A = this chain, B = another copy of it.
Amino acid sequence: MSAIADVAKLAGVSKATASRALSGKGYVAEPTRLRVTEAAAQIGYVASPNAASLVTGQTKNVGVVIPFINRWFFAEVLEGIEEALLDRGYDMTLYNLSADSPDRGRIFEFFLARKRFDGVIAVGVEMSADETARLHSLGKPVVGVGGPLPGIHTIGIDDVATARLATEHLLRLGHTAIVHIGGRQAEQMDFAVHGKRLTGFLEAMHAAGLPADGVFETEMSLPGGYEAGLRVLGDPRRPTAVFAASDEVAIGAIIAARQLGILVPAELSVIGIDGHEYADMFRLTTLEQHPRSQGTLAVELLMAEVGASDQLPTEPSHTLIPVDLAMRVSTRAPGTSAS
């Protein structure tokens, strides 16, 4: 006998009434509702989401596709999503989609095709037209975090503008020997993040009439920043400031600087992008991009679409998260020491 039948019997009502009482949908007399909820509590009844999904089509589950778990920005977005989802009674199913792994195909063709979710959040995943089409054909809403994606609602920062902002901050302090350490252009992340941040840097330098020949490529990670930092700063004609394409790269570079006996920020200003919680510790200036809130916002966007699935789809938009210079600014004018 189905579980809800037990509840119904115990409360002396029909399954239908029990269902209505428990789900809050449809008319149920208050005393009846009470008897049912009590009966449910007594047996410890929890509805089988499978059975419910089968008939309603709603799964109370959201799929998240993400390329990394163990990278600060992504982990943070994930925590934001998870918390927001939990609040709404949703489960989160995680698909760790390594950039160009052979699993990518399987995830789209098999895992996602199972439609175990009411919607999908793609974090930092640039989907091909084919992939978005496939997702759309499932008839489930999709939102993206990280960059514009044709046909779906997305949020993210303006990478070019952010990079320009960071560079301009250094310029404003009087730095002229500025170097950019960024991800390798040959191994772009999705949404060409490496390229966009480089572009912003170049734009700012050109606008200031400065040569922009100080561009160093490395892996977009802490060890990558470290490695590049050693290269950049080992040279006696080293720059007075570094704009790193991510906080992780920036921190790696700072570690390298200290390794070489260079004081940060007294002898070298470093600025990154992310608003990393460790920035203070490393004396790092960073631009705040609120990864946690990006996760929360993505959930809100998705929920709006989940609820309004029968409405006309609104024009897909790309919402830009405002990026601001974090309070913990510790960059200095060149040659300046203590604050």
Contact = CB atoms under 8 A, between A and B. Distances in A.
Contact of A223 (B49, B59, B106, B278): B278
Interface string A223-262: 1001000000000000000000000000010010010000
Given A93-B61, A96-B83, A255-B281, A114 B46 contact: yes
A59 B70 contact: no
B82 A96 contact: yes
A50 B247 CA distance: 42
A169 interface: no
Nearest to A256: B281
Interface residues of A, number: 48
Contact of A281 (B76, B82, B252, B281): B252
A53 B54 CA distance: 10
Interface string A51-69: 1011000010100000001
Contacts of A95: 86, 91
Given A69-B75, A222-B281, A281-B255, A50 B116 contact: yes
A96 B82 CA distance: 7
A94 B96 contact: no
Given A49-B116, A282-B255, A75 B70 contact: yes
Contact of A46 (B46, B61, B110, B252): B110
A91 B93 CA distance: 7
Contacts of A171: none
A99 interface: no
Contacts of A111: 86, 91
Which secondary structure dominates chain A's binding surface? helix
A68 to B, nearest CB: 8
Interface string A214-228: 000000001100100
B75 A103 contact: no
Nearest to A83: B96
A223 to B, nearest CB: 6
A113 interface: yes
Nearest to A113: B46
A72 interface: yes
Contacts of A116: 49-50, 61, 91
A9 to B, nearest CB: 20
Contacts of A281: 222-223, 226, 252, 255
16 contacts: A44-B113, A49-B116, A50-B50, A50-B59, A54-B54, A69-B69, A70-B76, A70-B79, A86-B96, A86-B107, A86-B111, A92-B94, A93-B94, A223-B280, A226-B281, A255-B281
Given A51-B54, A69-B78, A223-B280, 18 more contacts: A44-B113, A46-B110, A46-B115, A49-B114, A50-B53, A50-B59, A50-B116, A69-B69, A70-B79, A86-B106, A86-B107, A89-B110, A92-B93, A93-B93, A223-B278, A226-B281, A255-B281, A255-B282
